[in-house]
Chains A and B, each alone.
Chain A
Amino acid sequence: MVLMKMKFPFEKRVKLAQGLWLLSWMATLAGAFTFTLGCFLKTELRRRAEVMDNTEIHAVPNTLMIVGLASLGINYFAGRMCQDALDAGRFPRWKTFMQPYWGVSLLFTLLMLMAVIMSYAMKGNLESSLKIGLKNGIRFYKDTDTPGRCFQKQNIDRLQMEFRCCGNTDFKDWFEVQWISNRYLDFSSKEVKDRVKSNVDGRYLFDGVPFSCCNPSSPRPCIQDRLTNNSAHYSYEHQTEELNIYIRGCREALVNYYMGLMNTIGAGVLSVFLLQSSVLVSLRYLQTTMEALAGQENTEIETEGYLLEKGVKETIMEYVTPVLVFLQLNQVGSEDTEA
């Protein structure tokens, strides 16, 4: 039972070939566009690589780049094929090429869809990566003299100023870490000694945040230290004060930024996927109509085109059965050897 049969008189075939040629050029441009989107996303992820713990999220831009490059090749060949399609003598030379071509192009088109799904599904992965990365960033904020970590302070400060956020989950994360290096603490003063003694690990903890948490939109000069002490500052109440420092945590800010980026890219790639699918469907119809012409004297007769020669189930069985036979043979073989 043939799938989606359509009749193609000569003019319709010619129109199909011409339309497909145009579509394949558009799809080539769309493939290049996908590649640049992948590059752009990768660059953006790399810029903040210091606050990410792992690079698993890079699978999304990597897939986009591979798919973009592959679709350039797929659509180039589609264009060449439909150029030859109008000449019945030249079309048969593509016959041996078609099987592997369909395999490769279906694989990469599915990969494109996978990339779109991944860009939505990997939000949790990104969030946990950022959680660990930011936690380390805040812990190593004071280590400006340790090789390998001396730029953590600068990175975290710039991040907080650019994304208008403070801390990991929120600003209170800064209260739990010592973010002032021991080099700048006067250990002979009573206040420092008290604070260091007041906790198990001997850390200098206090209710203050770095200057990069300050919000420029606040009407009053920034209050960075003794944040939870209302009496330390004139006319200040920390429960109702919203504009003084950034309340949002940097993890939330970064996740929102990257998810916004990936959603936009996902929508774009989805439309490229639809374009690519239409190219492949049209090419299949063109191939089957031209194959029906093989050996015919008159190249202007009407032919039929279809998507699949047998039904969907039968075609799948056709491909899967050899694999099953191979596996069963192996099983039988191993049983024999055991016996």
Chain B
Amino acid sequence: MALMVVKFDLKKRVKLAQFLWLMYWFSVMAGVLVFSMGLFFKIELRKRSEMMDNNESHFVPNLLIAVGLLACGINALGGKICYDSLDPIKFSRWKPMLKPFLVSCVAFNCLLVLTALLCFLMRIPLQFTLAEGLKNALRFYKDTDTPGRCYMKRTLDQMQIEFRCCGNNNFRDWFEIQWVSNRYLDFSAKEVKDRIGSNVDGKYLMDAVPFSCCNPGSPRPCIQYQVTNNTAHYSYDHHTEDLNIWKRGCRDALISYYGGMMNTIGALVLLVAILEVIVMIGLQYVNTSQCNLANPEDPESESEGWILEKTVKETFTDIMDKMKAMSKGNAVEEGGVDGVATVS
């Protein structure tokens, strides 16, 4: 009992082939879209690569690029097959290839679904990467004279301004590192000597944040220095002050930015996968309807098309049997070889 049988006369076959050809062109464009999204994602990751530690993985955007290119190729080929399906002579050239092509389409769809899943899951490794990367970035903020790190200050400042965030987890991260370079500290001043003497590593720590943490939406001019000292500023209470500096940490800000991007890309890839399944089913109908003409000599006769020749269960058991037969065949051969070996 075949799965989802549909009767086809010539007009219906022609309509199906034309419709499917159009759908294949949409799928090619969808493949281009997936490719460009992968490229965009890769560029965005590269832009912030200084905020990530060195072993960040570009696996997902590379996979998206590869899948996009593959989709373009497969769909272009499918479109060509559809175009030729109405001409019996041309179609007979494609006939032997069609079954392996459909099997590869099934595999490709599984790959698409896997890619979408990876997009949703990539958030987790990204979190660890960013935590490590931002910690280092904050440490190297002051090293504007060290080659290889001289642009870290500018990058971090611009990022804090753009993403409206401060520090790694929150603004207190700035209190734990020395972010003012020794070049600009007057070591003869009492205040500097006190601060350096007050901790083990001899670092100049203070309860202050860089200017890029300032919130333009604050009604009062930005308070960057002595942030936790209420008496240092008139009419100021740091416990209730919300608008002075950005409260959110940059790790959260970047995760939500990249997370949103990845969710959108993952959803789009799922939609493309659904489109691919539809065109694959359409191609199977075209294939079966062309192969099962009621009267093989007359191309205008009626035919039947189906998705699977037997039901799902039977097809599955067939495949399992074939695999068992193949493995048994191997075993018998090996047994024979062993037997020969022992005899001699």
Enumerate chain A interface residues (CB-CB to B < 8 A).
144-145, 150, 153-154, 157-158, 161, 179-181, 183-186, 210-212, 214, 216-222, 224, 233-235
Contacts and interface: CB of A to CB of B under 8 A. Distances in A.
A224 B183 contact: no
**Among B150, B181, B210, B211, residue most surrounded by chain A Cβ atoms (within 10 Å):** B211
A219 to B, nearest CB: 4
A264 B150 CA distance: 36
B221 A221 contact: no
Contacts of B214: 211-212
B211 A211 contact: yes
B222 interface: yes
Contacts of B181: 219-220
B154 interface: yes
B221 A234 contact: no
A211 B184 contact: no
23 contacts: A144-B219, A145-B219, A154-B216, A161-B216, A180-B220, A181-B219, A181-B220, A184-B220, A184-B235, A211-B211, A211-B214, A212-B214, A214-B211, A214-B212, A216-B154, A216-B157, A216-B212, A219-B150, A219-B153, A219-B181, A220-B180, A220-B181, A220-B184
Nearest to B181: A220
B216 A153 contact: yes
Contacts of B235: 183-184, 186
Given A211-B211, A234-B186, 10 more contacts: A153-B216, A161-B161, A181-B220, A212-B214, A216-B161, A220-B180, A221-B210, A221-B211, A222-B211, A235-B183
A244 to B, nearest CB: 11
A153 B12 CA distance: 68
Contacts of B158: 216
Nearest to B184: A220
**Among A154, A179, A216, residue most surrounded by chain B Cβ atoms (within 10 Å):** A216
A267 to B, nearest CB: 29
Given A145-B219, A210-B221, A235-B184, A219 B211 contact: no
B185 interface: yes
By size class, the interface of chain B is 20 to 34
A221 B234 contact: no
- Which 7 A/B pairs are nearest by Cβ-Cβ distance? A157-B216, A216-B157, A144-B219, A219-B144, A186-B234, A234-B186, A214-B211
B179 interface: yes
Contacts of B234: 184-186
B169 interface: no
Contacts of B218: 153
Contacts, number: 73
B223 to A, nearest CB: 9
A185 to B, nearest CB: 7
A196 to B, nearest CB: 14
Contacts of A145: 219
B145 A219 contact: yes
Interface in B133-182: 144-145, 150, 153-154, 157-158, 161, 179-181
Given A145-B219, A186-B234, A219-B144, A234 B184 contact: yes
B217 interface: yes
B62 interface: no
B224 interface: yes
A183 B189 CA distance: 33
Interface in B203-230: 210-212, 214, 216-222, 224
**Among B150, B179, B221, residue most surrounded by chain A Cβ atoms (within 10 Å):** B221
Nearest to A180: B221
A180 B181 CA distance: 29
Contacts of A183: 220, 235
B243 to A, nearest CB: 10
Given A153-B216, A183-B235, A219-B144, A210 B153 contact: no
A224 B144 contact: no
A154 B217 contact: yes
Contacts of A210: 221-222
A183 B221 CA distance: 11
Contacts of A181: 219-220
A157 B150 CA distance: 26
Contacts of A211: 211, 214, 221-222, 224
A181 B221 CA distance: 9
Contacts of A179: 221
A161 B180 CA distance: 22
Contacts of A218: 153
Interface in B180-197: 180-181, 183-186, 189
B344 to A, nearest CB: 82
A171 to B, nearest CB: 15
B224 A216 contact: no
A93 B92 CA distance: 58
A184 B232 CA distance: 12
B153 to A, nearest CB: 7
B221 A222 contact: no
Nearest to A160: B216
A177 to B, nearest CB: 13
A97 B259 CA distance: 61
A157 B235 CA distance: 22
Contacts of B220: 144, 180-181, 183-184
